[in-house]
Structure 1
């Protein structure tokens, strides 16, 4: 199912149910604990607090909460406090489409961030677009994400860029590879980009297979992957999937070759354990490798509050709130002010990659100078990898 099909289905189901206004479904009411007075402006957050992606929602919320605390400590936005209104959508397209009108009707909300998955986010985008409310899809790497309209923006690196970097490092290390990927809209699109780049590089794909998102036993597809005698196995999926792939390969199938897969999360390290060692991952942030002063301070503050280093998901969530607060302070803390700033400001603070600043390409509404980095698991930790 394509993103466009998901959007049409989700919106149609909401309209049919008669719930476009005043959504009351469980989890969609919004948590207004962060602020609702006249001296507060809010950012709406659509994210998976519960459901299959809840582990990412937890990481996002850590970044969000740390960012809003910093913004308010530094004076807020044009004399007003910044608050967050959380909406648990489980990163489900139907729930995103259902909650979007409720967010639009809350005039204290000056912008929206989220969701985790691009198809879910894209189901809400048309509603935000029609209302003139900026939708800031900070985690949405689908290259088509911003196609909905001029109020849909993302600083996230596109999968086309991610998979080029991924394919290039694979080509340096292996001539023959086996590839497995998650069977969903994101996974299929990401694999198409990877395969295109791998073919350009002359890398031979000797085996390929998809797997279902809720798979618990991948032996049936990994046995033929191993038997194809690849120089490396590549997994295009999420953290738990990456752990299941490498654990199956190492513990059950005796594969001891190169592995490209997993995600920069504590969960991946915990689930994969010793098998994670040597895994090479394409990401956008290294807590131990960043040379940027503000990013180093973020790492210090994050570790002081939560007891561990942040990864890619935490930093992108943190940066999303910092970006929008910066936009509001550059113009005004209104829906119109946020849109104007995203169109005109050229020095948004950048925490990812090599740090510095970034700006948006006004036509694509994507950040124009953020590139992926490589990470490797070494001694149970993620380190920046130069290849």
Structure 2
């Protein structure tokens, strides 16, 4: 399975033949014969600015597929993934959603990466009766489209308050740089409220564009406003550049980044500039948990380094959908959706055995705080 996965990973993760017996589209009866594979769709960025996250997903998918299929599959059926490259673009995600809904072999879909991109496609999945599992979608409204929309990612409401409060322990005069997208602006509203609730001062804030190459004017304004700590609610490419240019303009204060930056790419792009940056995560490979240890060991044996939270979310997504397919009353789209909604002790290397709440989300996540030290992510006692 590993070699076949690698050969396809550049564009589509799947075996070469996915000829499942098709039933009537959208009527909940799809699923194929007992000899056909369990096919899951994935919509995410394999190229473009967010491509590193797609790579993380591919790696997590591979470990899950190797494990599931190595143990005999789901009721004797192999699990396969069709991974379509959205480039992180909403227009591509909707086109992919249309293809997946029309493809009766696909029983559920993971993705897209960002909430904004995913939520544009959600109505298509809901109308098509095809479960969309948002493995990295934190927008508070992500699951409100309908009862076929699930999310394992924590909400911006929860994470925004966590990062705002912990940032405030490093300095009371806070500057916030947030991505100028629905994801970023929604989080900023929460952060702004929490800063005030904690009795700290928001001395500067600005939305930034992911494509921007010069943040120095805004960083100078943050410096001159008296910021003694900076919070970056941005993706790794923007955060790395912000940190570099903060050094250039003399904004020498503690820096905090949101969990989307927990990626080797932040270290590669940021270099010395991201040294000492703090960031949060719900998954830490050094955790003292047998399930985590087993996953990390198999991942490290395969790729030569530890998984990050995005690989773990991808691993969880495959395992959870495979669990739902195995426990479904009927081996079709509706059966899988109902198993996911009604099940308990659903496997998760991030949260432990879990259950989806009435909003089809995970309740009460816990965070681990990390800091970049000597070019690596290490657990810190400063914020834990």
Structure 2 counterpart of 1:169, from 145, 166, 171: 166
Aligned match of 2:343: 345
Runs (4+) off by over 6 Å: none
CA 1:35–1:138: 2 relative to 1, 3 Å: farther
How far, CA to CA, are the matches of 2:150 and 2:273 in structure 1? 37
How far, CA to CA, are the matches of 1:333 and 1:71 in structure 2? 17
**Deviation digits for residues 212-246 of structure 1 (CA, Å, limit 9, x no counterpart):** 11111111110111122222111110111111111
Aligned match of 1:122: 119
How far, CA to CA, are the matches of 1:333 and 1:244 in structure 2? 48
Aligned match of 1:275: 273
How far, CA to CA, are the matches of 2:234 and 2:177 in structure 1? 8
Matches within 5 A, 1:235-246: 235-246=232-243
Structure 2 counterpart of 1:47, from 27, 44, 47: 44
CA 1:180–1:222: 2 relative to 1, 3 Å: same
Aligned match of 1:215: 212
Structure 1 counterpart of 2:189, from 192, 216, 225: 192
Q: What's the offset of the Cα at 1:371?
A: 2.9
Aligned match of 1:335: 333
How far, CA to CA, are the matches of 1:291 and 1:241 in structure 2? 32
SS of structure 2 residue aligned to 1:348: coil
Give structure 2 stretches of 5+ with no counterpart: 1-10, 20-34
Q: What's the offset of the Cα at 1:34?
A: 5.9
How far, CA to CA, are the matches of 2:239 and 2:16 in structure 1? 35
How far, CA to CA, are the matches of 2:67 and 2:219 in structure 1? 46
Matches within 5 A, 1:1-387: 32-33=14-15, 35-37=17-19, 38-250=35-247, 252-261=248-257, 263-288=261-286, 290-331=287-328, 332-352=330-350, 355-361=351-357, 363-386=358-381, 387=383
**Deviation digits for residues 262-297 of structure 1 (CA, Å, limit 9, x no counterpart):** 611101011111222221112211112x12211111
Q: What's the offset of the Cα at 1:35?
A: 4.9
How far, CA to CA, are the matches of 1:69 and 1:53 in structure 2? 25
Aligned match of 1:25: none
- Do the aligned partners of 1:232 and 1:257 also contact (CA within 8 Å) in 2? yes
How far, CA to CA, are the matches of 1:34 and 1:320 in structure 2? 22
Say what the alpha-carbon RMSD is for the aligned residues: 1.7
How far, CA to CA, are the matches of 1:333 and 1:53 in structure 2? 34
**Deviation digits for residues 183-206 of structure 1 (CA, Å, limit 9, x no counterpart):** 111111111111111110011011
Aligned match of 1:14: none
How far, CA to CA, are the matches of 1:240 and 1:30 in structure 2? 24
How far, CA to CA, are the matches of 1:67 and 1:35 in structure 2? 20
How far, CA to CA, are the matches of 1:71 and 1:61 in structure 2? 15
- The normalised TM-score by structure 2 is 0.88
Aligned match of 2:8: none
How far, CA to CA, are the matches of 1:139 and 1:209 in structure 2? 24
Q: Which moved more, 1:338-347 or 1:137-146?
A: 338-347
- The normalised TM-score by structure 1 is 0.87
Q: What's the offset of the Cα at 1:97?
A: 1.4
Aligned length: 354
Give structure 1 stretches of 5+ with no counterpart: 1-28
SS of structure 1 residue aligned to 2:169: helix
Aligned match of 1:26: none
CA 1:377–1:131: 2 relative to 1, 3 Å: same
SS of structure 2 residue aligned to 1:216: coil
